[in-house]
């Protein structure tokens, strides 16, 4: 299996894996891919297998002069634990470095301790910042009690 990592315009089925996990945590409308792709300073990194097609993706967005935000990492379950997620994160970090960013930040739901551990193994640390994940009633409600976003960050370059 050869996996190619690159950036290009994506189809709206791109975040199906993310949507499945999100649906288990909260009911209601999900973020639309077009909202992400149309944002200025935004890029989607894709992993494609020559035989299987799209096997993973991650979204990276520039936030100011020194910061970028990583989110929506999704890898085909059959390809997990094979380095695809790591490669996607590394490409997203390279994209942010190319923008001149010093920090990559992300927000991980408190209900996903396995993701917190995954990102910590990749050099991300908790900042101590926690934000409530308030789901507006018109969008849906939590299926697992109180949800909070925990902020993580990683230094991408020296000052």
pTM above 0.85, yes or no: no
Identify the pLDDT of residue 78.
81
Most confident range (mean pLDDT) of 31-45, 54-68, 109-123, 142-156 is: 109-123
- Tell me: pLDDT of 40 over 90: no
Place of tokens 């396995």: 114
Minimal CA–CA distance to 97: which of 154, 38, 56? 154
The more confidently predicted of residues 120 and 141 is: 120
Place of tokens 């990194």: 45
- Tell me: pLDDT of 11 over 50: no
- Sign of the CA dihedral with 63 first, then 9, 90, and 121 last: positive
> Under the phi-then-psi rule, with left for phi > 0, alpha for psi from -120 to 50, and beta for the rest, what region is 89?
alpha
Instruction: Return the structure tokens found at 92.
Output: 């997203």
CATH domain 3-155 topology: Aminopeptidase (3.40.630)
DSSP sequence for 11-62: -TTTTHHHHHHHHHHB-S----HHHHHTSTTEEEEEEEETTTEEEEEEEEEE
Tell me: the pLDDT tens digits for 89-134? 999 999 999 999 999 999 998 888 898 999 999 999 999 999 887 7
Residue 100 has, within 13 A of its CA and on its CB side, a CA count of 4
- Tell me: pLDDT of 39 over 50: yes
Dist CA 110 CA 131 (whole Å): 10
Identify the pLDDT of residue 38.
59
Identify the pLDDT of residue 56.
82
């Amino acid at each position: 299996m050869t996996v190619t990592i690159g950036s290009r315009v994506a189809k709206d089925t791109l975040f199906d894996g993310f949507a499945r996990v999100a649906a288990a945590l909260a009911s209601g409308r999900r973020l639309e891919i077009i909202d992400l792709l149309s944002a200025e300073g935004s890029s989607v990194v894709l992993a494609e297998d020559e035989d299987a097609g799209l096997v993973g993706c991650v979204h990276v967005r520039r936030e100011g002069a020194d910061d970028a935000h990583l989110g929506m990492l999704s890898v085909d379950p059959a390809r997990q634990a094979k380095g695809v997620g790591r490669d996607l994160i590394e490409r997203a970090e390279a994209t942010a470095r190319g923008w001149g960013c010093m920090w990559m930040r992300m927000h991980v739901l408190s209900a996903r301790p396995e993701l917190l551990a995954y990102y910590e193994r990749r050099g991300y640390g908790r900042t101590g910042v926690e934000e409530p994940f308030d789901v507006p009633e018109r969008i849906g409600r939590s299926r697992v009690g109180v949800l909070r976003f925990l902020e993580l960050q990683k230094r991408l370059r020296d000052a």
